[in-house]
């Protein structure tokens, strides 16, 4: 499931984050690449243990926690500490699949990567190229979102960042270990949750809606790993 969540950040949060990123000390992104990705990764990244990255990560975590769409789609058990990258002219990240298990840079906790997310800090007109391309059974999906918007997709997906031709692409990336590891099951639960919310707004809490809600929670009870 590929999901676009708009306006994850407020205007004030976005302005503050962009100010911090504009004055940040970047390092070679290959420092955190796995064996598969190191040959195709060419970008800049903030050291996760630095003060700027810690402040930005806390900002992003607060924003995600108040997003019901993210909660419904990802069903998070653990959200790994958000990290931050920058692509300038000529930088790219070739086709790769995210490592199945990663270590949180702050807590040291092992996290199974079920759901990948990218939060954009640059406006689309501020850089040329740099699209996130996610491959699935329905083809290639090119993603270039407004600043403050989030894209969520399965970590099992083959994906890449196209070369940046001008400007700078600033973003946060993070992984989530979901309570429901199977993407198809998460997608069904998300669709059901969205239908329940829509029906409740239209017809109120009728008996059929109570039954549908009970089915949602019974499926979640059956599939969730805690």
Task: Please give the annotated binding residues, written as ranges.
Answer: 96, 98, 159, 169
Q: What's the Cα-to-Cα distance from 205 to each of 165, 180, 199, 201, 218, rounded to whole Å?
A: 53, 27, 9, 9, 18
- Which residue ranges make up the annotated binding site for 2-oxoglutarate? 169
- Which residue ranges make up the annotated binding site for Fe cation? 96, 98, 159
Q: What's the Cα-to-Cα distance from 55 to each of 9, 20, 51, 83, 177, rounded to whole Å?
A: 14, 9, 6, 11, 22
Question: What radius of gyration, in Å, describes the C-alpha atoms of the chain?
Answer: 18
Q: What's the Cα-to-Cα distance from 6 to each of 2, 20, 63, 99, 118, rounded to whole Å?
A: 13, 22, 12, 27, 12
Find out whether 147 and 121 touch, Cβ atoms under 8 Å.
Answer: yes
């Amino acid at each position: 499931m590929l999901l676009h969540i708009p306006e994850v950040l407020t205007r004030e949060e976005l302005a503050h984050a962009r100010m911090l990123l504009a004055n940040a000390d970047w390092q070679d992104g290959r420092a955190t690449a796995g064996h598969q990705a190191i040959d195709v990764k060419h970008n800049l990244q903030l050291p996760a243990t630095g003060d700027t990255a810690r402040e930005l990560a806390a900002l992003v975590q607060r924003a995600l926690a108040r997003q019901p769409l993210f909660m419904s789609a990802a069903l998070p058990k653990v959200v790994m500490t958000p990290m931050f990258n920058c692509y300038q002219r000529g930088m790219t990240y070739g086709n790769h699949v995210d490592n199945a298990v990663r270590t949180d840079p702050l807590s040291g906790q092992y996290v199974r990567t079920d759901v990948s997310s990218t939060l954009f800090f640059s406006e689309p007109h501020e850089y040329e190229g740099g699209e996130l391309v996610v491959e699935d059974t329905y083809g290639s999906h090119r993603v270039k979102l407004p600043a403050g918007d989030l894209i969520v997709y399965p970590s099992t997906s083959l994906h890449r960042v196209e070369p940046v031709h001008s400007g700078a692409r600033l973003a946060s990336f993070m992984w989530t270990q979901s309570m429901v590891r199977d993407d198809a099951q998460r997608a069904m639960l998300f669709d059901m949750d969205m239908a329940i919310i829509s029906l409740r707004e239209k017809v109120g809490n009728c008996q059929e809606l109570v039954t549908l809600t009970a089915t949602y929670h019974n499926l979640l009870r059956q599939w969730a790993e805690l």
